[in-house]
């Protein structure tokens, strides 16, 4: 169980202590989310047949965890700012996805629902 509200409260305090609320508009937090998602991608960008990232190698694992954390932290902030429940919107979207991607039509296919 993730205590979303406690995490958000801590993050709110962190920003407020540093007088950073002025920078944390939804748009800016969403920009930061993109930047952090990019940093996570960077760790995997050159994966190739002969070059697989070993996510269990301790130093790599630490980097991966830190970047995942950064993405999650900004996502929590965005949800807090916009008064969105991450769990509720995920459940609602999963229902939509189940309709957009019926099992029989999408089985084994990596294509967009518009092309099924």
Q: Hey, which residues between 37 and 96 contact its own copies (CB under 8 A)?
A: 37-42, 44-51, 53, 55, 64-66, 68-73, 75-76, 78-79, 82, 84, 86-87, 89-94, 96
Q: Residue 111 is encoded by which pair of tokens?
A: 């294509």
How far does CA 56 lie from the centroid of its chain? Answer: 21
**Minimum distance from CB of 84 to its own copies (Å)?**
6
**Minimum distance from CB of 58 to its own copies (Å)?**
14
- Count CB-CB contacts under 10 A for residue 75: 17
How far does CA 83 lie from the centroid of its chain? Answer: 17
**Minimum distance from CB of 36 to its own copies (Å)?**
8
Q: Does 114 sit near its own copies (CB under 8 A)?
A: no
Q: Which is nearer to its own copies, 18 or 58 (CB)?
A: 18
Helix orientation angle between 58-82 and 4-17, rounded to the nearest 10 degrees: 90
Cβ contact 67:39 at 8 Å: yes
Q: Which is nearer to its own copies, 3 or 58 (CB)?
A: 3
Interface positions, 94-113, toward its own copies (CB under 8 A): 94, 96-98, 101, 103, 106-110
The C-alpha atoms of residue 32 and residue 72 are separated, in whole angstroms, by 11
């Amino acid at each position: 169980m993730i205590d979303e509200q406690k995490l958000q409260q801590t993050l709110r305090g962190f920003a407020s202590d540093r007088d950073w609320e002025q920078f944390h508009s939804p748009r800016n937090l969403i920009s930061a989310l993109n930047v952090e998602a990019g940093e996570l991608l960077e760790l995997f960008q050159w994966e190739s047949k002969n070059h697989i990232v070993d996510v269990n190698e301790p130093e790599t694992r630490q980097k991966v965890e830190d970047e995942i954390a950064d993405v999650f932290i900004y996502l929590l902030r965005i949800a807090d700012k916009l008064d969105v429940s991450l769990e509720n919107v995920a459940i609602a979207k999963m229902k939509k996805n189940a309709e957009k991607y019926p099992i029989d039509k999408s089985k084994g296919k990596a294509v967009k629902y518009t092309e099924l």
